[in-house]
């Protein structure tokens, strides 16, 4: 129920604002990637302004996610190492438990 309320209060107005933004910025603009010859057609792109802004937003999010993923690699490596160590300790404990049960089974009963 709370998730539906959050969706209605946050995502619905955000969606409406994005739709209004897209409608208001439909005019075509030229993105020139050659700073020395902006009229060069090879390194320029004509698209609506909202498309260029959304593409920039998506690329920024992907770049940020990639940087975060790489920067957290040391933590993932440490977690893998600790998991492997825990498995080794568990296997050793099971081996000792089995050996203790064997020894206990060999002891004479009184």
| Alpha-carbon distances of 74 from 22, 63, 85, 88, 102, rounded to whole Å | 41, 19, 16, 21, 42
**Using one digit for the tens of pLDDT, what is the confidence trace for 23-44?**
888 889 888 888 888 788 888 8
Cβ of 94: how many Cβ atoms within 10 Å?
A: 10
> Which phi and psi (to 5°) does residue 31 adopt?
-100, 110
Structure tokens at 82: 């600790």
**Residue 110 pLDDT level (bands cut at 50, 70, 90):** low
Reported pTM: 0.62
18: confidence class by pLDDT, cuts 50, 70, 90:
confident
Domain ranges of the chain: 1-73
Q: Tokens at residue 8, please?
A: 């209605």
Q: What is the mean pLDDT of the chain?
A: 89
- In this prediction, residue 64 carries a pLDDT of 96
């Amino acid at each position: 129920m709370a998730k539906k309320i959050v969706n209605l209060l946050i995502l619905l107005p955000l969606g409406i604002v994005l739709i209004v933004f897209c409608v208001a910025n439909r005019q075509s603009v030229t993105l020139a990637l050659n700073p020395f010859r902006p009229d060069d057609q090879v390194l320029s792109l004509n698209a609506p302004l909202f498309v260029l802004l959304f593409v920039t937003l998506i690329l920024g999010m992907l770049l940020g996610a990639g940087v975060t993923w790489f920067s957290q690699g040391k933590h993932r490596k440490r977690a893998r190492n600790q998991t492997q160590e825990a498995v080794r300790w568990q296997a050793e404990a099971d081996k000792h438990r089995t050996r203790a049960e064997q020894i206990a089974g060999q002891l004479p009963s009184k």
